[in-house]
Structure 1
């Protein structure tokens, strides 16, 4: 799902608070779950990236102007189980961002405050890649959200709470994405070293071969041989030099007539 622009601020009654969701276990919830809501936050963004997403106003710079950091105020943040929502109250416009587009989030110190640094890919098919280096720099939006203190909760604690909510929701969507791709993984070739949990019984150990040193690491089982199949004995598949084959053929030849052709000195 690509980034979606919205013109109305989300409403709290449209969501189930996380505390209520955890306290009750109904058969189903008819509304999305709200993990965190932060109002009147500030957003620090570079002037050359403001135009990448049309919710931060028209403060972009031309190529001839120096790039500077712009501080925007009045930004609400909604962390829901469905998506991440930024809403600019002064401009009455916002954006719902899928978690698969949030390629990075981290705690960052900004002067004397604690912020959340985010990298947001504006590429619609971000879910099909795991490396942000595959995208152009203009497709990657970088910003830092700086929340306010809330009552007795310090500004740093609020920032940490937002970070934990983001981590929870991104993990949920990452797990769902991995589940959807399990069918593709079933068709891939499993190589030794893909992980201990994916090693098959009897699969070669270190170096890719079963040797005298690692033979004890493998399990061999007796199996029934289907009718019509033959088990080859020791030496099957060995390749001998041509001279050795000639000697063996000469030495093993049967019959008295064969001996008269041998040269004697």
Structure 2
């Protein structure tokens, strides 16, 4: 499931601190508590009013609007709702908890399609936040909705600039997201992994079916070169191998080289001893031009 609703906040004891995890070799990498990379208590979280209810930490009846000098002006085209949340970035999931509503949610990292640093406000009131886009709903559901939210962590009392806190939060989300790569679609057709297509070059718009770039194989390797191309085909040299109808024509510079030429008898075959010496011990007629064989 991409999200799970929780009714009680996480506890510090539920996690292994990152510093402790990195200071020792764990007995196992498969059991034990999730590793806590970062915690941001009381972070401001903004979401569009039209998306209220998409996550349980944003109740459908919430009315609190963004506060602080970085809040958008009243004339903003998008009406936002603000909630104060605790953010737990751990190796298992991203956890948000709303103490006022006494409800939280765990979010799987593959659900977070985009996350980025964002500058909010203008002039002296500028702050750094994290903008996230999430694809909610079942992974097999084509009608899954997109939810966008902005996190603005509160700066500790001993820090004047909240930018460093936001940066640490962003890096923690990035590190944990890397632990949960998108699953491989086993239904993909392997026959499509060696396609060569071209895109964005008007010169080759006439080549119907060639509208992208060279695509690697499904195992992470590269597809083989086209026969006779002596290398990779790119948008710069495609005209040397395909005509305007998309038909394979070979390398124009080397066209005809090595093609249609028949090799002589015995080409590619290694001679044996009996072929290089006659039965009666006499040498071949061309043996004088060769070095003597050492027994």
Instruction: Give yes or no for TM over 0.5.
Output: yes
Q: Distance in 2 between the 1:151 and 1:60 partners?
A: 28
Task: Give the alignment of 1:199-210 within 5 angstroms.
Answer: 199-200=223-224, 204=229, 205-206=232-233, 207=238, 210=250
Inter-partner Cα distance in structure 1 for 2:190 and 2:59: 47
Task: Tell me the equivalent position of 1:149.
Answer: 155
1:253 corresponds in structure 2 to none
Matched, 1:90 2:114: no
TM-score (norm 1): 0.66
Structure 1: give runs of 5+ residues left out of the alignment: 129-133, 216-231, 235-265
The 3 A distance-change label for structure 1 pair 148 and 60 is closer
2:60 aligns with 58
Scaled by the length of structure 2, the TM-score of the pair is: 0.60
SS at match of 1:143: strand
Structure 1, residues 80-136: CA drift from partner, whole Å, max 9, x if none?
11111110011110000111111111111222221111111112207x9xxxxx756
Offset of 1:190 from its aligned partner?
1.3
2:168 alignment counterpart: 161
Query: Structure 1: how far apart are the matches of 2:179 and 2:185?
Result: 15
Counterpart selection for 1:43 from 42, 45, 56: 45
In the alignment, structure 1 residue 170 sits paired with structure 2 residue 177: yes
Matched, 1:109 2:115: no
> What is the correspondence of 1:189-204 to structure 2 with a 5 Å cutoff?
189-192=193-196, 193-195=214-216, 197-200=221-224, 204=229
Note if contact 1:47-1:59 (Cα within 8 Å) is conserved in structure 2. no
Match of 1:32 in 2: 34
Cα distance in structure 2, aligned partners of 1:106 and 1:10: 25
Which has more helix, going by share of residues? 1
SS in 2 for 1:158: helix
2:86 and 2:96 in contact (8 A); partners too: yes
What stretches of structure 2 of length at least 5 have no aligned partner? 64-76, 197-213, 242-247, 263-295
Helix, strand or coil for the counterpart of 1:165?
helix
Distance 1:114 1:135 in 2: 32
Tell me which residue corresponds to 2:9.
Answer: 9
C-alpha deviation, 1:67, in angstroms: 6.0
Q: Distance in 2 between matches of 1:122 and 1:8?
A: 22
Contact 2:194/2:216 (CA < 8 Å) preserved in 1?
A: no
> CA 1:184 to 1:114, structure 2 compared with 1: closer, same or farther past 3 Å?
same
Query: How many residue pairs align between the two structures?
Result: 202
**Shift of residue 199, structure 1, vs aligned partner:** 3.1
**Deviation digits for residues 144-189 of structure 1, max 9, x if unmatched?**
1110112434311101111111111112212xx35x4479575644
Aligned counterpart, 2:210: none
The structure with higher relative contact order (CA 8 Å, sep 6+) is: 1
The answer to whether the aligner puts 1:70 opposite 2:88 as a matched pair is no
